[in-house]
Structure 1
């Protein structure tokens, strides 16, 4: 039995699967990641500050206009479409085998593919809010703003993307729900992440079952703890392993 057949068998034998994904899920929709050789941190940029600096809370506060110039150009990929991984996970949820998708991505592609229960650890570009009055705005409002810094149409406050910047804490409600889903899962599939960014990577440690599957192009620190490791494209693997019933 090869690895794909093993994965297919494990999926068929499970009824409460949780998927935990990272940037590698979105790169297959042509959204660049951060840390790979082609990633955001290693590509030359016209911006004078490094991405890590520009994606920090303090930079947002002190250089708001420069933040939004960078954010619009480098973090928003409005035309990106769900790939095989997104579509297959949505299919698995429809079959009532997958109970939750936990993602480190902010692009909303899981929801566009049809997934209903998506826990976004780092927020979403599709949610934005006025820092003064709390009014919610969608992505189009931010993109269509005549000002570099989008402002609330009611009170004039700055409209901030609901994404977790460096120096900001993760949403504890999302963390607690993620931990609960992982603890209750009878299978945990981790895909498209090198599992080096904490605290998100530490969520894997809450899984105590015997069907931990890691799908990533490169090795991870958790490979030795996994029941199955597949070093390949997440979309290709899920497309082969998740067949329509």
Structure 2
């Protein structure tokens, strides 16, 4: 209980909070985690998921990619959970400056968050590789086989696949928010995915909070560690 009180106090005292989140923020909405025991990486497919979700596989085997992607990567019916909702509330009252997420599901925006930096892109944005025209996710869902643009170019999800680099502008913004933050809250991530996980090293303050069900390699760096459900933790925060 003391740790929850400490978190409450840190949030009440600050108006410059940044949140960095991973898959654990979305699993509580029903989106499966890649690396958990029953996650995507422990299921059996014709190819390893890491290979299917790579740039080279997308280019060479686009139809199979889309069959997998539509069945295993799109969860459009799920709703934001208590963590998403509380983060949006913290932004509305002027305490939270930015949400930096590794997730591609758009649930932070669905909950009402405005300033969301999506390190790995979003399933809700898709673009033609030939002419650059953008499409929403409905175009992908409604297409049979490979989604194509009006110019007949192949449409690609605006998500970062394996073998692809992160967007430099998004990275620069994330570094700026983290390096200037008073309080940095990291939640729902094992901090195992680089280069995204390396961003927290830019934090210069002394109010680093880690909220995750299991321990992480960065726990020793944190000023406060809470091993619990992120939705439960955030639900208890009073503003």
Task: Give your verdict on TM over 0.5.
Answer: yes
Task: Kindly report which structure 2 residues correspond to 1:14-93, keeping only aligned pairs within 5 A, or say none.
Answer: 14-44=14-44, 47-93=45-91
2:129 is aligned to: 131
Cα distance in 1 for partners of 2:192, 2:127 equals 30
Cα distance in 2 for partners of 1:148, 1:113 equals 31
- Cα displacement (A) at 1:39: 1.1
Query: What secondary structure is seen at the aligned counterpart in 1 of 2:42?
Result: coil
Give the CA RMSD over aligned residues: 0.8
Answering whether residue 203 of structure 2 is matched by residue 207 of structure 1, we say yes
Query: What secondary structure is seen at the aligned counterpart in 1 of 2:40?
Result: coil
1:8-54 per-residue CA deviation (whole Å, 9 max, x = no partner) reads 0000111100000000000000000111112110123xx30010000
Cα distance in 2 for partners of 1:38, 1:189 equals 27
Cα distance in 2 for partners of 1:143, 1:27 equals 22
Cα distance in 1 for partners of 2:59, 2:46 equals 17
- Cα displacement (A) at 1:217: 0.5
Cα distance in 1 for partners of 2:187, 2:221 equals 15
Answering whether residue 192 of structure 2 is matched by residue 192 of structure 1, we say no
Query: What secondary structure is seen at the aligned counterpart in 1 of 2:75?
Result: coil
Cα distance in 2 for partners of 1:196, 1:136 equals 31
Cα distance in 1 for partners of 2:2, 2:28 equals 24
1:111 is aligned to: 109
Cα distance in 1 for partners of 2:62, 2:103 equals 22
Structure 1 unaligned regions, length at least 5:
none
Query: What secondary structure is seen at the aligned counterpart in 2 of 1:41?
Result: helix
Cα distance in 1 for partners of 2:131, 2:24 equals 36
Cα distance in 1 for partners of 2:128, 2:189 equals 32
